[in-house]
Structure 1
Amino acid sequence: MLSETLLWLLLALTFVVPTLGAILLRLFEHRIGDIGMVVGSSLLLLIAAVALLTIARSSLP
């Protein structure tokens, strides 16, 4: 069973972090290049997917 704090943290990772990450990737697009954009986007998607799957597989309070 997930604690309420962990649940809120995972929800933030699922919804807030990808949005902020996409904004930051756009801001630093010229510095990190195309490969950096692909790697950054993939990492953000992976973080959100793992957080969402963790919530889905756990019993909620």
Structure 2
Amino acid sequence: MNRADQRLVKRLAWVLVIKLVLLYGLWWGFVRDQRVTVDAAGMAAQALVPGFETVKGENK
């Protein structure tokens, strides 16, 4: 690699590091303390929601 390519790689690496730090900071500030409780009855209610019913013998 020539000198310009090395500078580009170094700059891209810094941009990625800064983005990761910012994403981690946003997660730590806003999402870290959020919790979702899931119980069996609530999950069953979501999973067993009646969907579209098909009629036998009817082709569209």
What band does the TM-score fall into relative to the shorter chain? 0.3 to 0.5
Q: TM-score, normalised by structure 2?
A: 0.45
Structure with bigger RCO (C-alpha 8 Å, 6+ apart): 1
Q: Which has the larger radius of gyration?
A: 2
More helix by share: 1
Q: TM-score, normalised by structure 1?
A: 0.44
